[in-house]
Amino acid sequence: MIKPPQSAPVGEELEALRAKTHREIRDLRQKISHLGPDGIELILSGARSHYAWTDRPVTEETLRAIYDIVKMGPTSMNSSPARFVFVRTDEGREKLKKSLKPTNVPKVVTAPVTVIIAHDTEFWRELLYLFPHEDRRHHFDGKPEHSEDTAFRNGTLQGAYFMIAARALGLDVGAMSGFSNEIIDQEFFAGTTLKSNFLCNLGYADETALFHKLPRFDFDDVCSFA
């Protein structure tokens, strides 16, 4: 279902909205100039990918709160191509299991929620709603390779936003490959324009399953100036 087009503001209405935006960002910067060490540690530097889970449930309210953070993350032309399927029933897990490598089955069946991070290859049909001030659908209409590339790139960004948002709200995540995208798409997205990207287990982790943290590259190993 395609959402109806939005009316783009013009004239004095547009100027008022822009002025409001400028005030809001200035106020935000005055209130919060940066995250402190604890916040950075929670979402990235001290966080871990998890593979075992407690039985503490993840509520629908929490899932909705995560998405309300994710949707505000930037995507090109506000295209927002990511789609999220929250698998939390036995029936859904049985469909997922068909796609998994055997070593990944326990990670999924014990997780309170497994999220299929997908993207809509025809996201551009929604641009009149999401990007109302200029019709850019012609950039994608009849150009499936460009549409797929844009959807995959921005959908992956939104998947990363999802993981950070979940951690920010106190949950643990375990992103996962080791499955067949083809089977996922057959089981969950047959007859649609959606394609799966990756899976992410979500919940409250059993940290006793962790091993030591693996090494990372230093700045000079992978960064340069031009």
Q: What is the pLDDT of residue 119?
A: 98
How far apart are alpha carbons 160 and 57 in whole angstroms?
22
How far apart are alpha carbons 58 and 173 in whole angstroms?
12
How far apart are alpha carbons 83 and 76 in whole angstroms?
16
pLDDT in tens, 69-99: 999 999 999 999 999 999 999 999 999 999 9
How far apart are alpha carbons 91 and 89 in whole angstroms?
5
How far apart are alpha carbons 187 and 195 in whole angstroms?
11
Q: What is the pLDDT of residue 165?
A: 98
Q: How confident is the model at residue 167 (pLDDT cuts 50, 70, 90)?
A: very high
Q: Has residue 7 got a pLDDT over 90?
A: no
**Quick one: which of 94, 118, 122 has its CA closest to 189?**
118
pLDDT in tens, 40-65: 999 999 999 999 999 999 999 999 99
pLDDT in tens, 92-128: 999 999 999 999 999 999 999 999 999 999 999 999 9
pLDDT in tens, 176-212: 999 999 999 999 999 999 999 999 999 999 999 999 9
Q: Has residue 223 got a pLDDT over 90?
A: yes
Q: Which fold has domain 48-208?
A: NADH Oxidase (3.40.109)
